[in-house]
């Protein structure tokens, strides 16, 4: 599984820096990046944001993991924070900055189609983002303390890089591109019709969907419901209510918890909760495949796919 890492914190030497909250079309730049990654099949997406200006409000209910970093730190510090979190959780990661929102799905798929330690897209000889970094390289980047950002870290670590030439101008920062991102909008993937659906499970009430699934995943990962809520940008009160509704509808406990004490408290999933997660994951994967085929059957080849 390949993850995505979006960096929205750290010092930059770019002038007139493009901000992730800027509207591009009907959505923010950060929403555009997240949606594009999801469209390309990336499920685990981590956002490293400024501890003073949290980005959760820009991408609500999109099942992300939020980490914080100092706005005064280097960009590489924010990248390291994301890589440290993702260690042992993925085979590789696509790294991009929150002010580069216009790369294409095709570019992401090109980057994923290879086995080199690092794959970097280029447009007319100029390298851009996202950068694909394999998991076996994470420790080498984490141990680097020199300058030059991610590029300097990769060079110092001797990471083998492959440059992938593309026809995608959206891989470049707006300043390097020499034109406004708005000029790229008409041809961007997200201007085309696409199927958009969320698989939910109900009894008397709807009680399970992608957000609940994500909450349970993080609770199991952190051993703590409160930490899971924190990394989702959700209040603990809301997280408890979600668990309470799920337990009510299933009629079984979802979490085993222990309060504080000498060895600290914990929250872990019951076997019934784990079974629900496994069933949901398998069902969602098959359902999304079938629904995508139906969308192609009913919408492909006609004027419906022309955003104009």
Structure tokens at 188: 């961007």
Residue 19 has pLDDT above 90, yes or no: no
pLDDT at 235: 92
pLDDT at 128: 96
pLDDT average, residue stretch 81-92: 96
pLDDT at 263: 52
Lowest mean pLDDT among 51-55, 189-193, 199-203, 294-298: 51-55
Residue 32 has pLDDT above 90, yes or no: yes
pLDDT at 301: 65
Residue 303 has pLDDT above 70, yes or no: no
Lowest mean pLDDT among 3-12, 50-59, 126-135, 229-238: 50-59
Report the predicted TM-score, pTM, of the whole model to 2 decimal places: 0.90
Residue 144 half-sphere exposure, CB side, CA atoms within 13 Å? 26
pLDDT band at 47 (very low <50, low <70, confident <90, very high): very high
Residue 10 has pLDDT above 80, yes or no: no
pLDDT band at 203 (very low <50, low <70, confident <90, very high): very high
- Residue-wise burial string across 24-54, b where 16 or more C-beta atoms lie within 10 A, e elsewhere: bbebbbbbbbbbbbbebebbbbbbbbbeeee
pLDDT at 136: 96
User: Number of helices and strands (H, E) in the chain?
Assistant: 10, 14
* Dist. CA 51–CA 70, nearest whole Å: 6
**Residues of the chain with pLDDT > 90: what percent?**
74
161 neighbors 117 (Cβ within 8 angstroms): yes
7 neighbors 80 (Cβ within 8 angstroms): no
pLDDT at 51: 73
**Residues of the chain with pLDDT > 70: what percent?**
91
Q: In whole angstroms, how far apart are CA 148 and each of 25, 58, 271?
A: 34, 30, 48
pLDDT tens digits, one per residue of 131-146? 999 999 999 999 999 9
pLDDT at 13: 60
């Amino acid at each position: 599984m390949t993850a995505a890492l979006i960096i929205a914190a750290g010092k930059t030497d770019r002038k007139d820096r493009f901000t992730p909250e800027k509207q591009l079309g009907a959505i923010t730049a950060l929403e555009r990046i997240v949606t594009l990654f999801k469209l390309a099949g990336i499920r685990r997406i981590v956002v490293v944001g400024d501890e003073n200006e949290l980005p959760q409000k820009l991408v609500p209910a999109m099942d992300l993991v939020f980490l914080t970093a100092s706005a005064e730190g280097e960009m590489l510090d924010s990248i390291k924070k994301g890589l440290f979190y993702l260690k042992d959780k993925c085979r590789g990661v696509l790294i991009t900055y929150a002010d580069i929102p216009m790369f294409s799905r095709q570019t992401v798929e090109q980057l994923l189609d290879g086995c080199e330690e690092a794959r970097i897209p280029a447009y007319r000889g100029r390298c851009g983002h996202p950068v694909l970094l394999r998991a076996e390289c994470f420790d080498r980047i984490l141990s680097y303390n020199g300058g030059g950002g991610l590029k300097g870290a990769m060079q110092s670590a001797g990471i083998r890089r492959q440059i992938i030439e593309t026809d995608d101008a959206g891989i470049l920062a707006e300043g390097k591109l020499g034109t406004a991102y708005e000029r790229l909008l008409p041809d961007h993937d997200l201007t085309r019709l696409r199927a958009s659906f969320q698989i939910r499970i109900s009894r008397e009430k709807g009680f399970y969907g992608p957000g609940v699934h994500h909450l349970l995943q993080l609770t199991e990962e952190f051993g703590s419901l409160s930490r899971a809520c924190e990394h989702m940008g959700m209040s603990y009160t809301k997280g408890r209510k979600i668990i309470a509704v799920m337990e009510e509808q299933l009629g079984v406990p979802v979490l085993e918890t222990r309060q504080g004490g000498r060895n600290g408290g914990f929250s872990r999933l019951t076997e019934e909760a784990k079974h629900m997660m496994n069933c949901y994951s398998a069902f969602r994967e098959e359902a999304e495949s079938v629904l995508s085929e139906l969308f192609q059957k009913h919408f492909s080849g006609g004027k419906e796919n022309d955003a104009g």
